[in-house]
Chains A and B, each alone.
Chain A
Amino acid sequence: MGKPTGFKEFTRELPAKQSVEERLQHYNEFAHRYSDEKLNQQAGRCMDCGVPFCHHGCPLGNVIPEFNDAVYKQDWKEAYEILNSTNNFPEFTGRICPAPCETACVLGINQPAIAIEEIEKHIIEIAFEKGFVKPHNPNLRSGKKVAVIGSGPAGLAAAAQLNYAGHTVTVFERDDAPGGLLRYGIPDFKLEKWVIDRRIKLMEEEGIVFKCLANVGVNVSINDILREYHAIVLAGGSTVPRDLPVPGRALKGIYYAMDFLKQNNKRVARKYFLSNAAIESNILPEEIKATGKNVVVIGGGDTGSDCVGTSNRHGAASVTQFELLPKPPAERNDFMPWPSYPMLLKTTSSHEEGASRQWAVATKEFIGDENGNLKAVKTVELEWKIVDGRAAQFVEVAGSEKEIPCELALLAMGFLHPQQEGLIKNLGVSLDEKGIVKATEKDYKTNISKIFTAGDMRRGQSLVVWAISEGRECARNVDEFLTNNFSVLESRDQAVQFQVS
């Protein structure tokens, strides 16, 4: 397979990106593509391992060595078919996945891992260019109707799979366009929205109906849904953000990251950002821009990073990012050995664009001016006690309080659980102690008959790739439910088992 000695001859290379100056001028994606030769070399680095840990590390079970080999042989159709057999939306994961496959890559034991995510993106984009990606309509319709509530990656994956299994699927989305966080959470410079439109168009051609501005429980009747559909998949995500209840929280100028990001994505899409406020989620009452402001992003994760990139594009005077935890190491240590997913220092493209990053910092207070506008944040440094490689406990460092000038603070500290008011409460779906919908990975069933759940709504906040995986697995369980315990949909861990009665 591939090139047996490729991993010795070539090292990992990523495609070039636009310069920081250039990319800050726009909201488009800024990564170039590999040349054919480079792509070939990068795929040729794959070692076709006897135990491909990448294939285990990927939540979708992507069959990575096989598609690397196909890319090496420039058999694009084969590569696409392999990829498509496990991943409905490689164009999303190829752009924004943190690539747990790459952290599990065997070459990563002592060398830079294979550039699997880039290869994935190239496969799907080449497949679109070459016309391999065509709508696939099932020959037989089961006559069963399924409602999928929420059109983020989990909902979309569930819808796509259930449709392939022959069921008639309607997707309900409270925003004005499908995609969930893909659409209104992730900035365009990481995922341009035509990529979602292209996929939605295909899914519509395959027979899936998308109903947008349809907030079940608000402007769509729950009872109608329960009556009309044979099964319901709840895929509304984990949307309630973690708050920071410190003095001054009520000042003007402090916003949840998601509200800020959504408004910007709408702006980039040339949509009026206050419309449909009663139906849509995460709508700010006014226009917020970072232009000329000192921005503080509280939270060191990917959402925080997206706020950094967006603020810089607005033309912020300064951007500072706080993280509660101490600065992570740059390399693996004994407590995060290969192939586990390591908590390492990550410098995103948004960080490259300029931000002051501070670790082990807590926000003590927001300080306002006489008009109730935010003018500074008061911080304190933390000293962490490290137990077994993990930051376990902290104490504030006496006398380390500081005031940092700040007119815009963005809270990006993660999400607690799904929105419970409305749909979930009204359906009577059970929640677990964390407040997420209770259902196991075994069957994705809620406590209410015919209601299933997938994605962050069930799992709590997680990755797009996990959402797709959950959507697929959930779909298989829904299919089994609808077809008397037998599903033609493949699961992540098992080939289709044909049982004889």
Chain B
Amino acid sequence: MFQSKTIQCYLKADGKPGRLKKAVDQICDYAVDAVEDGFKVLILQDRAIDSNHAPIPSLLSAAAIHHHLIRKGMRGQVGIIVEAGDVYEVHHFACLIGFGATAINPYLALSSIRNMKETGKLQTELTQDELKKNYIKAVNDGLLKVFSKMGISTLQSYQGAQIFEILGLNKDVVSKYFTGATSRIEGMGLDEIATETLAKHFFAFSKKDIPADRLPVGGVYQWKRKGEFHLFNPQTIHLLQHATKMNDYETFKKYSKLVNDQGEKACTLRSLFQFRKNRGSISIDEVESAESIFKRFATGAMSFGSISWEAHTTLAIAMNRLGGKSNTGEGGEDEKRYELMETGDSMRSSIKQVASARFGVTSLYLTEADELQIKMAQGAKPGEGGQLPGHKVDDWIGRVRHATPGVGLISPPPHHDIYSIEDLAQLIYDLKNANRKARISVKLVSKAGVGTIAAGVTKAKADVVLISGHDGGTGASPVSSIKHAGLPWELGLAETQQTLVKNKLRSRVVVQADGQLKTGKDIAIATLLGAEEWGIATAALVVEGCIMMRKCHMNTCPVGVATQDPELRNRFKGDPDHVVNFFKMITEELREIMAELGFKTVNEMVGQVGNLEMRENIEHWKYKNIDLSAVLYREPESMYQTLYCSEEQDHGLNESLDWKLLEAAKPAIENKQSINASFDVKNTDRTIGTILSNEITKKYKSEGLPDNIIHFNFNGTAGQSFGAFNTKGITLELEGDANDYFGKGLSGAKLIIYPPKNATYIPEENSIIGNVAFYGATSGEAFIRGKAGERFAVRNSGANVVVESVGDHGCEYMTGGRVVILGDTGRNFAAGMSGGIAYVYDVKGKFADNCNIEMVDLDKCDDTDKQELYNLVQKHMEYTGSTVGKFIIEDLDNQLQHFVKVFPRDYKKVLLAKVK
């Protein structure tokens, strides 16, 4: 039996300095007393308040006591329960747990639910208990999401882990009460926190007595006149749309003035900056031309699927007219966009994104890129992948993504082929092989430590590093990610620039920034902080008609931007001309600032942080103590490097075995002659066949070459990414074994692997290929005589593969294709699988325990399945000489009963509908 001690957490509400400090010190003393007196549970309660006593913010109470007890060596002796009124959102719970709370009673949230039920505000049949249960479940699910974003599996690991960055608290507060947490820009002290607390307190206890005394409207997730200030508001949206439609620079200036001059609202860090002139101004005619600056602009990575065909192609056409770059987003790209339009315009997106789900990442997709962007994370929702609800996945989207129409697509948080910086380097190498002309970009989010990551990425041979800020792309983010996730790009960009300069890496990589860039001033500040290229997404969407409905997830966008509803798409009124006007005007503003500051070129301007200083007259009590000197610090550069990208990365492609393959395949590529050749391989021969595929694709597009026209035999141990993104017409037959990423992104080729003919071991009992084989495969066939590692055929969307056993997490997130496993699987098979079919030969009857049946049925095989199995296994036997295969084929009538058909329920529904 545990005994608990309740500690009342309040401060005297008279606004005198030092009141909060006294109060916090006092509860810390009480806590120590209580532990010394043998209590096992502390309840931190904020109920004992009245007009003269205000509650201490519960996070401060909890963290203060948590750290005080740690310092006293007593923390392990008690549990801390927080019973507070200021806890209601997922983030509140996450913070309390992250700063040490053991349990939480959000009593005000719960009684609000009761009140809403009693007064009929919640029109529902559910009882109060059920409603409360639902609330708790929602909070739990939200917490789970937060933990998973941070890569944490259990509540216990999260408790006290303090994986937050504090923005806006000063050193005294952080070191004493939030000890060890990251906080880089100083800010409020305890007295300022008290001021904020008392403002709410007096609101509640005022003698306000006017009718319809309602709670404030808030306006955090929706613009409200009396609510939180938003930079995109009715005025700025209207001015931006009108200015770009009429090509009216004067109106644009009004827009940018409203965005730039935030005054007391100060809703961006950059609003606290002003320019400082360090040299004489020059005439704007001396500044480099707008045309040469356009190529530094990109639009954001918004997928076809999240936004409509019309909205997506309008951006692409506009950027192609300008010579800038549009981005596919992670949803693949319809091949018809690679043809020029009748008008001479092009709908092709220069930047092709390669995200965790690898939707439609085929050899052609990669070949058609000027830049390949590996999305490590998204500024707006770090740790999460794209999330496309089922009602937006129509037939077209489904086809482009190689996914099942009607089935929601949640991209996995991580890339399954990247668990370390070496893995990332491998993917960069793979992509460079797939398209040697494309720059490889790596998208990172602004966070403490991003500089180190960027340095690693640069060493891993990325050509571009993108630092993405927290406030972009919020329309389609889950509510719990709109706030409190990610950081302003100002912080991440400054850190990246400083770290890259310090490590003499800056001149090897292009640095790009994005995150609610809206005006020429924003671009200028990003440039001075170290970015030579810039991405703009939301503003460009607004220009083509977005009015920030924040209904992207509902498919009901009334202006046809973020919807797939044909009726609503008809309402789209965007025009590439308007987007072009926008970029011209924003560039003009940038050029004006360049002239004012005396820069002739953007390159000259990059990283000249000395041209920025804190704004004068920052007097608001809440942020007057913010200190941005760390952002404004200039890392001294060596005389041998530039502050912008001036060298090309050496990707080491010269060593590739593919040059030999290409030579041998010449007759096939040029005249479609059949080719047979043999090569020895060793494990430093990585990414085999990828350059070859790139060359074939350049000529034959997605058609590829006739099947088997190129047949290469290999002997030995292949390195990583054997056959990656290999296209149609290629057959690679390997006698030996292979490392990880075998058949990654397979794009039509046939891969065959079997152990050396003279091997003495039993093939089906031994590993032959590594982990993450066929990740993101889109088409093709493969036959593997032996066992594969973990994460087999994750995100496969069309390849047909036969293998003799797989490790854990097989066929995760699979959306198409067939996988036949003639042996055991590891656990968590078929998690998140929404399409395709897996057949598992389950003689031991153990499979059901290893399968994650959240989304799939385990069915018996019928005659169609029998035929399908026969075809695949027959080939497997033929190509690899598999003994298991031979046994099954010869006895298929009997053995069929041992095959489990793993059939995703949604996929089944779609197939049935098609039959009807």
Contacts and interface: CB of A to CB of B under 8 A. Distances in A.
Interface of A: 4-5, 7-8, 47-53, 55-57, 61, 63, 66, 73, 75, 78, 81-82, 84-85, 104, 106-107, 109-111, 136, 138-140, 161, 164-166, 334, 337-340, 488-501
B229 to A, nearest CB: 10
6 nearest CB pairs, A to B: A50-B550, A56-B234, A498-B202, A136-B211, A164-B210, A85-B212
Contacts of B224: 52, 55, 63
A339 B565 CA distance: 24
A51 B573 contact: no
A491 B237 CA distance: 23
Interface size class of B (residues with CB under 8 A): 35 or more
A500 B195 contact: yes
Interface stretch (B241-249, B371-379, B855-863): B241-249
A8 to B, nearest CB: 7
A104 B234 CA distance: 9
Contacts of A499: 199
Given A50-B547, A56-B234, A84-B212, 10 more contacts: A49-B549, A51-B230, A57-B234, A82-B212, A82-B214, A85-B212, A85-B214, A138-B210, A339-B238, A496-B203
B217 interface: yes
Given A53-B547, A55-B224, A488 B556 contact: no
A109 B199 contact: no
A165 B210 contact: yes
Given A75-B121, A492-B225, A139 B209 contact: yes
A213 to B, nearest CB: 30
A146 B458 CA distance: 71
A198 B495 CA distance: 66
Contacts of A493: 225-226
B420 interface: no
B569 to A, nearest CB: 12
16 contacts: A49-B222, A49-B549, A51-B223, A51-B233, A51-B234, A52-B222, A56-B225, A56-B235, A106-B547, A109-B573, A339-B234, A339-B238, A488-B209, A493-B225, A495-B226, A498-B200
B916 interface: no
A167 B367 CA distance: 76
Contacts of A110: 558-559, 571, 573
A8 B567 CA distance: 9
A489 B210 contact: yes
A110 B227 CA distance: 28
B556 A4 contact: yes
A411 B368 CA distance: 71
B279 interface: no
Contacts of A104: 234
A406 B233 CA distance: 51
Nearest to A335: B246
B227 A495 contact: yes
A280 B558 CA distance: 52
Given A104-B234, A493-B226, A488 B206 contact: yes
Given A63-B217, A81-B214, A84-B212, A51 B232 contact: yes
B225 A164 contact: no
Contact of A73 (B123, B195, B545): B123
Contacts of B547: 49-51, 53, 106, 109
A325 to B, nearest CB: 23
Contacts of A56: 223, 225, 233-235
Given A56-B225, A165-B210, A489-B210, A47 B549 contact: yes
Contacts of A339: 234, 238
Q: Name the residue among A82, A138, A492, A498 with the largest chain B CB count within 10 angstroms.
A: A498
A126 to B, nearest CB: 16
A106 B568 CA distance: 14
B554 interface: yes
B551 interface: yes
Contact of A488 (B123, B210, B238): B210
Q: Name the residue among B227, B232, B234 with the largest chain A CB count within 10 angstroms.
A: B234
A337 B558 contact: no
Q: Name the residue among A51, A81, A110, A165 with the largest chain B CB count within 10 angstroms.
A: A51
Contacts of B232: 51
Contacts of A136: 210-211
A85 B210 CA distance: 9
B234 A500 contact: no
Contacts of A63: 217, 224
